[in-house]
Structure 1
Amino acid sequence: MKLSFLGAAHEVTGSCHFIEACGKKILVDCGMQQGQDDDTQELPVVPADIDYLFLTHAHIDHSGKLPLLSKMGFNGKIFTTVATGELCSIMLQDSAHIQEFEAEWKNRKRQRAGEDLYEPLYTIEDAQRIMKRFVTFEYNQIISVCDGIKIRFIDVGHLLGSASIEVWIEEEDTNKKLVFSGDIGNLNQPLIRDPQYITEADYVVMESTYGDRNHGPAPDYVQELADIIKETFDQGGNVVIPSFAVGRTQELLYFLRDIVNNNRIPGYSEIPVYVDSPLAVEATNVFNKNVKGYFDEEAMSLINQGINPITFPGLKISVTSDESKAINFDSRSKVIISASGMCDAGRIRHHLKHNLWRAESTIVFVGFQAIGTLGRSLLEGTKTVKLFGESITVNANIVRLHGISGHADQAGLLRWLSAFEQKPKRVFVVHGEASVCDSFAALLQDQGYDAMAPNLQASFDLATNTCLETGVLPEPKKVKETTRVSGVFQRLVNAGQRLMAVIRHNEGGANKDLAKFADQINSLCDKWDR
């Protein structure tokens, strides 16, 4: 009866834990690591040897390697919630689509040079194939996985369908219960329920993303957003919101429905709102299908009154490229929600091009912006950006809605853990930056818990509560001496990704224009292919 840590140990992303019990090999999550090249996204196990996989939720840092498992020979079953399965069906194909386009871009030069072609991490076909391995359940069902192993999914309030997983193991004369927290949600998120609590476990594996801080009092998001819209509309501008397609976009629609239906912006009888992200549209459809058992009391009360909590008069959905382009020909002041949330790809870049230079417009950030992204640069006050080869002066108002988070803060993590009626034999702290994992584990020790932050590849005998392998710390990100040169090269890579986005955006354009565009690209490639 063994537990090993194969990902998100002293790291935030790449969640993957490994159980060996009752003659079976089981993964809990198999997520993609962020901030790494695809070449480094190795699988920590032999996929064909895995019997089962338990999935906490659909976010790519927990599910992103599932198509790679399929590609490499996994034929087991994936157990998760109904909503998580439906979100994975769109998110994994979207991830595969990105992998294929990046591979196509990398292979252009390799092909001309006679080099071996770069293989995408996985393909859309791999993503479609892995979905056939899913077996889905509602919350709170006790599921017999095999002789000696049972599980149950408990709503953890992080994302639609997200769950903590209770695992009961009976092996010979030994009985143990494990709980994997998954990503623990923040209180009072719109639409979905607050985290549900578990009262007993021998071992707990818990996240620590915000284990070193508290969010502070929650602001009035609805009123704050309404004030921003009114001020911008009064000036004749647009409100542009870069947003993550799954989860955050639906929260924004919930806020906007309240604003529109309750006339929170005096003087404006009509508030045009565009959602311009195909993935967000698909995700919203999944939200609308999975209501009962997933939405909170407030959202269900609206539904019981015949009110859809994430739609309202004036909401327009853009799916095709032509529909997206048409938004910028609408002369009215409007709200535009588009992906990607960090502004490094997707249709949001077109809307930024059309609005950043306008002093009367406002760009509203509603999520974390990583270092090196366009979104981070805008928040830090950059005065000029380059979009599609054109320098754009930043005249628009740049604002941020503070406090929106899908992760519990330190107080929320402690609240979740305190629900256990007796302290677990051991608490394993994972899914946090190295310093945060260690500090949160130390905090738990001060409160009387036997807690530790395991290293990567560490393993433990659950029958005896002993460490079998201490593992290793994840390799720190290498900082080259040629940091400046590397940064410039990354700019070049980003420019190439932007070019692919522009190409996709022009799909369906006039043949004459597309031919001219292709000639210009080929001419540029000929100049630099040396």
Structure 2
Amino acid sequence: MRVHFHGAAGEVTGSLHEVEAAGHRLLLDCGMIQGSPEAERRNFDPFPFEPSRLDALVASHAHIDHIGRIPLLVKRGFAGPIFVQEATADLMPIMLLDAASIAENDAERANRHRRPGEPPAQPLYTRADAEAAMRQVRPLPYAQRTQVLPGVEIVLRDAGHILGSCVVEVFAEGRKLVFSGDLGPKGTPILRDPATIDRADLVLMESTYGDRLHRDRDATIAELGDVFGHAWREGGNVLIPAFAVGRSQELLYWFARHWNDWNLSRWKIFLDSPMAAKVVQVYDRNHDLFDEDARRVWAAQPSPFRLPNLRLAATPQDSMAINHVDRGAIVIAGSGMANAGRILHHLRHRLGNPRTHVVFVGYQAEGTLGRRLVDGARWVRIHGRDVRANAQRHTIGGLSAHTDQRGLIEWYGQIADHPPLVLVHGEDKAREALAGEIGERFGTSAVLARPGLILDV
């Protein structure tokens, strides 16, 4: 086996790894590059391989930075099967149709302001392209060894990151490659812990939080409750940028668990994401993938997705109506990095108010609006307008869907004989810190992947 590293090799988005095995070409992930406008323009570049020469694709999970360019890959000639876990197959059309809709709307907006002689803007792909890609999806259950190409077999293991997330084991030519995908922390609500891996000949492991430790979860949840209490006393509102898959559902889970503790009945709670509302239905259909604690919470009252004061803002008009709520609103809206979606409208409307509390509950990539706000920017640009950022900002790091340095070291450390390791899906500062810790503990000299790197398994 041979691995070609193309994306998420020195950055956190755009996951893209190519495997040559048994005379075939298998792609691991085909994610969208996210971040600054300059970074996102790279999504339009040609792939570093010919899509029509690929034989199959395996996607680790349904987040856009892992699946977001699949419709483009198909549009440019890939005709093979796309293997994913069953819950991921349920989530993919929701995610990809939303991404296509955003791309179409962005192109339409750009064309309204097009200068004379300037070529018209084109979306990265359309909803029709996304629908075409979904016809190539082949769902698989966890823990089933499946031949995906002659001489190439895979097993999908639970990665504990979001519903349907996978660690991918690839077997070919008597060798075993393990791709971690994104790994969740142990004890994450709703989800089971990441599966342990017995052995490997090469491991590709994410390193998003390779340089830091998450805050204790109990302290994190207490901090979130404190934010709500402070905001209520000030007569303010709370904005929470959150990914539609994973984070939004986890927040609702904690709301249900602490309904009385946080006196949440006095708030108006809005889930302002049509996509997140659809994802809720996928969660409701997949209780068999929940951990034991989540099953108990779902059976209790109030159920996380049926809080008595939860309002799903389905239409743009529903979303705009939230602007009229002067105080006492908790608004969960996408996107999680505040670089697209309905959260931008709420930030533009409320960011100038010092009684507004903006709560960041996930990773904020370099170049995103979320990262600029976390870093303390006093002015930001939203929809072409300069907006003063007077709002109070809170980073609740312990709610991350990615495990931290300790969790990554523990997950790798349980693999027999500590096999060769390549760190992907992380910025250099995080990867260098993680590589140093792993080298000191296990004697493994981790490789930091770069685009163009080729390694034999």
- Please report how far the alpha carbon of residue 69 of structure 1 lies from its aligned counterpart in structure 2 after TM superposition: 1.0
Partner SS, residue 187 of structure 1:
coil
1:156 lines up with 2:159 in the alignment: yes
- After the TM superposition, which residues 320-399 of structure 1 pair with which residues of structure 2 at under 5 Å, given as runs? 320-330=315-325, 333-370=328-365, 373-382=368-377, 396-399=391-394
C-alpha deviation, 1:298, in angstroms: 0.7
Cα distance 1:341–1:118, how it changes in 2: closer, same or farther (>3 A)?
same
Offset, 1:305: 5.3
**Is residue 3 of structure 1 aligned with residue 3 of structure 2?**
yes
State percent identity of aligned pairs: 42
Q: Which has the higher contact order (CA 8 A, sep 6+)?
A: 2
Tell whether 2:85 aligns with 1:91: no
SS at match of 1:215: coil
CA offsets 1:384-433 (integer angstroms, 9 cap, x no match): 66767877665543333232212122211111111112332x22222222
Gap change, CA 1:72 and 1:378, over 3 Å in 2:
closer
User: Contact 1:38–1:121 (CA<8 Å) still a contact in 2?
Assistant: no
1:372: how far off? 5.1
Give the secondary structure class of the aligned counterpart of 2:308.
coil
Partner residue, 1:45 = 49
Which protein has the larger Cα radius of gyration, Structure 1 or Structure 2? 1
My pick for the range that moved more, 160-169 or 382-391, is: 382-391
In structure 1, distance between residues paired with 2:112 and 2:328: 42
**Which residue of 431, 437, 460 maps to 2:431?**
437
Partner of 2:254: 255
Once the two structures are superposed, residues 278-300 of structure 1 have per-residue CA deviations (whole angstroms, 9 ceiling, x without a partner) of: 222222222222221x2122102
Consecutive unaligned residues of structure 1, counting only runs of 5 or more, are: 463-530
| Aligned-pair Cα RMSD in Å | 2.7
Residue 136 of structure 1 deviates from its aligned partner by 0.6
Q: 1:336 to 1:151 in 2, by over 3 A?
A: same
Map of 2:235 onto structure 1 = 236
Q: 2:73 aligns with which of 42, 60, 69?
A: 69
- Inter-CA distance 204–74: structure 2 relative to 1 (3 Å threshold): same
Unaligned runs of 5+ in 2: none
Structure 1 contact 89–128 (Cα < 8 Å) conserved: yes
Cα displacement (A) at 1:165? 0.7
What per-residue deviation string (whole Å, max 9, x for no partner) do you get for residues 162-201 of structure 1? 110111114xxxx111111111112222211121111111
Q: How does 1:438-477 map to 2 (within 5 A)?
A: 438-446=432-440, 447-449=442-444, 451-462=446-457
Structure 1 CA distance for aligned equivalents of residues 218 and 450 of structure 2 = 37
Give deviations 1:18-60, integer Å, cap 9, x for gaps: 2222222111111122241435532122111111111111122
Aligned to 2:272: 276
Structure-2 residue corresponding to 1:209: 208
Aligned residue in 2 for 1:169: 172
Shift of 1:15: 1.6
Alignment partner of 2:319: what SS? helix
> How many residues of Structure 1 are paired with residues of Structure 2 in the alignment?
452
CA 1:224–1:437 in 2, change beyond 3 Å: closer, same or farther? closer
Change (3 A) 1:419 1:68: same
Q: In 2 relative to 1, CA 205–341 (structure 1 residues): closer, same or farther, beyond 3 Å?
A: closer
Task: Answer whether contact 2:255 2:304 (CA < 8 A) is retained.
Answer: no
Amino acid at match of 2:294: A
Alignment of 1:92-131 (within 5 A): 92-108=96-112, 113-131=116-134
SS in 1 for 2:324: coil
Contact 2:214–2:397 (8 Å) recurs in 1 = no
Per-residue displacement from partner, 1:436-494 (whole Å, max 9, x unpaired)?
434533443442235323432222333xxxxxxxxxxxxxxxxxxxxxxxxxxxxxxxx
Secondary structure, aligned partner of 1:313: coil
Q: Determine the structure 2 residue equivalent to 1:20.
A: 20
Alignment match, 2:179: 180
- SS of residue in 1 equivalent to 2:48: coil
Equivalent residues in 2 for 1:408-419, closer than 5 Å: 408-419=403-414
TM value normalised by structure 2: 0.89
Equivalent residues of 1:33, 1:41 under 8 A apart:
no
For the structure 1 residues 77 and 224, does the alpha-carbon distance in structure 2 shift closer, same or farther, using more than 3 Å as the test? Answer: same
